[in-house]
Amino acid sequence: MKQLTPLAQDYIGRFDTALQSLPGHDNPGITALRKSGLETFSKLDFPNHRIEEWRFTNLNALTKGITDDVLAEPIARSEAFDAHIIFTLVNGQIDLGNSVLDNLPEGMRLTSLATELAKGRTELLETEAAENRSVVALNTAFMEDGFVLELDENVKVDAPILIRFVSNGGSPTNARHLRNIVHLGAGAEATLVEEHVSNGGHAYFSNPMTKISLEEGAKLHHYRLQNESKTAFHLSMVDCDIKDGAFYDNFTLSLGARLSRNEISADILGSGATCALNGAYLMRDKQHCDTTTLTRHLVPENDSRQIYKGVLDGESRGIFQGKIHIAEDAQQVAGDQLSKALLLSDRATVACKPELEIYADDVKCSHGATSGELDEDALFYMQSRGIQEDEARKILITAFLTDVIDEIETEAVRTYFAKIATDWLEGV
């Protein structure tokens, strides 16, 4: 048998000790769940490039073990928009001082997973079939906390709900395994904004896993900003179940981390449901950003769409893997996907694998993928009108990003994300 990676060995070695202080440790059900997670992880280790889903993302830099000895310059953070409901987790622990949780609307609960487990709410973690994703299994074994958002039937929350994940470094393991749970009852509506940010240039491993379930007719806008420290590793997973007539849209803006992976798996379980997965990634230096989506249409009459755009500068690398699966008998389904990448430098690279897997015939599916540099003709045209090259470039890149950022329905968030993108462009 081949040897496990050093980091995997480290995790396995300290599991028993860690278990004592992890939430739910006094509950046999939770402990059993963690143990099964560890068992799966022990079998699989961290993913390597021989696993098809990971062929473009190499975790060697992470799995040889991270040390928090690289201090990059602190990240200049733009101020978040004005939110009335804020839930802050610092280094994986809830920070009530920086949270605003009073005046939650009736029928809405926003708490921490540790709190809920302490109350004995183990049903929150009752998960389905055996997990074959090793990073999820690791998360299951070591999840320390996270947010739990629950909306009762027909509760509609207009104001965006802001969840901030702040990492400061300095914690003993340099790892945050967070498990978040979102459940929207039938007809409920919410706008959820996640920020994954750092207050310094520490190296750490951020591993948030969010499980979302949307009941009939529920509607969730899920906006995420990944702006981790430039030396951090960020492996996030979102699993979402979408029932009849429900609507889920996800927009992820990635600019941070040395290596990041944004993995989304959406199961469309109802007719009339819609799933929209969008995002933009802005990378420079030696950053590596991987977006991997799986949209499964499991029943007839629903639709999904995706647009991802990347801007790659320096020696950065962008990955997009998007798979649309249409199950047998899932007729009258539409699935569209578009991936576009812009290469700004000679050393930047992109790899893309848009995949269609279709077992029903009455479907309309398409995907498109493009990659290349800025349109030289447009650039020249603008220069000929007296616009300086730098300025012209920024205008073109902004235009490139605008149509995907415009997919964000909530205006405050759209403006916020657009501002962040503009700030990033200043560094091009």
Partner 1 sequence: MAISQETVEQVASVSEKYKYGFVSDIEADTAPIGLNEDIVRFISAKKEEPEWLLEWRLKAYRHWLTMEEPEWAKVEFPKIDFQDIYYYSAPVQKEKPKSLDEVDPELLEVYKKLGIPLKEQEVLAGVEGAHNVAVDAVFDSVSVATTFRERLEKEGVIFCPISEAVQNHPELVQKYIGSVVPHTDNYYAALNSAVFTDGSFCYIPKGVRCPMELSTYFRINAAQTGQFERTLIIADDESYVSYLEGCTAPMRDENQLHAAVVELVIHKDAEIKYSTVQNWYPGDENGVGGIYNFVTKRAACRGENSKVSWTQVETGSAITWKYPSCILQGDNSVGEFYSIAITNNLQQADTGTKMIHLGKNTSSTIISKGISAGRAQNTYRGLVRMGRKADNARNHTVCDSLLIGDKCGAHTVPYIENQSRTAKIEHEATTSKVSEEQLFYCQQRGLSEEESMALIVNGFCKEVLQKLPMEFAVEAQKLVGISLEGSVG
Contact residues for partner 1 (CB under 8 A)?
52, 328-329, 331, 341, 343-346, 348-373
Report DSSP letters for 246-299, one per residue: -EEEEEEEE---SEEEEEEEEEE-STT-EEEEEEEEEE-TT-EEEEEEEEEE-S
- Please tell me the distance from the alpha carbon of residue 130 to that of residue 142, in angstroms, as a whole number: 17
In whole angstroms, the minimum distance from the beta carbon of 285 to partner 1 comes to 16
The pair phi, psi for residue 400, each rounded to 5°, is -60, -40
Q: Measure CA 33 to chain center.
A: 23
In whole angstroms, the minimum distance from the beta carbon of 4 to partner 1 comes to 23
Nearest to residue 311, comparing CAs of 393, 196, 236?
393
Nearer residue to partner 1 within complex by CB, 257 or 348? 348
Nearer residue to partner 1 within complex by CB, 14 or 364? 364
Nearer residue to partner 1 within complex by CB, 173 or 349? 349
In whole angstroms, the minimum distance from the beta carbon of 331 to partner 1 comes to 7
In whole angstroms, the minimum distance from the beta carbon of 391 to partner 1 comes to 20
- Please tell me the distance from the alpha carbon of residue 204 to that of residue 47, in angstroms, as a whole number: 18
In whole angstroms, the minimum distance from the beta carbon of 323 to partner 1 comes to 9
Nearer residue to partner 1 within complex by CB, 383 or 415? 383
Q: Helices in 76-123 by DSSP H: which ranges?
A: 113-118
- Please tell me the distance from the alpha carbon of residue 418 to that of residue 70, in angstroms, as a whole number: 30
In whole angstroms, the minimum distance from the beta carbon of 60 to partner 1 comes to 19
Four-residue CA torsion sign, 7, 9, 12, 18: negative
Report DSSP letters for 114-181, one per residue: HHHHHTT-GGGG---SPP--HHHHHHHHH--B-EEEEE-TT-B--SPEEEEEEE-S-SSS-EEEEEEE
Nearer residue to partner 1 within complex by CB, 52 or 128? 52
Nearer residue to partner 1 within complex by CB, 92 or 279? 279
Nearest to residue 256, comparing CAs of 415, 75, 54, 68?
75
Q: Which helix (H) or strand (E) holds 8?
A: helix 6-21
Nearer residue to partner 1 within complex by CB, 88 or 292? 292
Torsion of Cα atoms, 29 then 32 then 37 then 38, to 10°: 150
- Please tell me the distance from the alpha carbon of residue 224 to that of residue 403, in angstroms, as a whole number: 17
Nearer residue to partner 1 within complex by CB, 224 or 309? 309
Exposure b/e, 383-399, CB count within 10 A at least 16 = b: eeeeeeeeebbbebbee
Nearer residue to partner 1 within complex by CB, 277 or 324? 324
Nearer residue to partner 1 within complex by CB, 27 or 331? 331
In whole angstroms, the minimum distance from the beta carbon of 174 to partner 1 comes to 32
Q: What is the 3-state secondary structure (H, E, C) of 174-224?
A: CEEEEEEEEEECCCCEEEEEEEEEECCCCCCEEEEEEEEEECCCCEEEEEE
In whole angstroms, the minimum distance from the beta carbon of 348 to partner 1 comes to 7
In whole angstroms, the minimum distance from the beta carbon of 396 to partner 1 comes to 14
In whole angstroms, the minimum distance from the beta carbon of 367 to partner 1 comes to 5
